[in-house]
Amino acid sequence: MKVVTVAQQKGGDGKSTNIAHLTFDFLERGLRVAVCELDPQGNVASTLRQFETFCTASKMFEPSSTDSLHAALAGLPDGPLVRVIAADNAMADVNMRKFDQVAGAFKQNVEALAAYFDVLLIDTAPSLNVSLASALNASDCVLSPIQMEAYSIQGIRKMLTVIGNIRKLNPKLKFLGMLPNMVDARDPRQVRNLAELKAAYPQLMIPLEIGRRGSIADAMATGVPVWKIKKTTARKASQEVRAVAAYVFEKMEIAA
The site for ligand ADP (CB under 6 A) is made up of 8, 11-17, 43, 126, 181-182, 210, 212-213, 216-217, 220
Beta carbon of residue 69, minimum distance to ligand ADP (angstroms, whole number)? 25
Measured at the CA of 158, the angle between CA 241 and CA 18, to 5 degrees, comes to: 15
Residue 157: Cβ-neighbour burial (10 angstroms; 0-12, 13-18, 19+): exposed
238 interacts with, out of ligand ADP, Mg ion, none, CB within 5 to 8 A per kind? none
Residue 43: Cβ-neighbour burial (10 angstroms; 0-12, 13-18, 19+): middle
Beta carbon of residue 22, minimum distance to ligand ADP (angstroms, whole number)? 12
Instruction: Centre a 10 Å sphere on the Cβ of residue 200 and count the other Cβ atoms it contains.
Output: 11
107 interacts with, out of Mg ion, ligand ADP, none, CB within 5 to 8 A per kind? none
Between residues 191 and 254, which has the closer beta carbon with respect to ligand ADP?
191
Between residues 11 and 80, which has the closer beta carbon with respect to ligand ADP?
11
- Give the distance, in angstroms, between the CA of residue 94 and the centroid of all CA atoms in the same chain: 19
The Cα 194–Cα 207 span in angstroms is 11
The Cα 204–Cα 236 span in angstroms is 24
37 interacts with, out of ligand ADP, Mg ion, none, CB within 5 to 8 A per kind? none
Beta carbon of residue 135, minimum distance to ligand ADP (angstroms, whole number)? 14
Which sign does the torsion angle of CA 74, 34, 51, 42 carry? positive
Between residues 65 and 144, which has the closer beta carbon with respect to Mg ion?
144
Beta carbon of residue 245, minimum distance to ligand ADP (angstroms, whole number)? 14
13 interacts with, out of Mg ion, ligand ADP, none, CB within 5 to 8 A per kind? ligand ADP
Chain positions contacting Mg ion, by CB under 5 A: 15-16, 43
Tell me the β-bridge partners of 144. Answer: 178
Beta carbon of residue 74, minimum distance to ligand ADP (angstroms, whole number)? 32
Between residues 17 and 65, which has the closer beta carbon with respect to ligand ADP?
17
The Cα 206–Cα 197 span in angstroms is 11
Beta carbon of residue 254, minimum distance to ligand ADP (angstroms, whole number)? 24
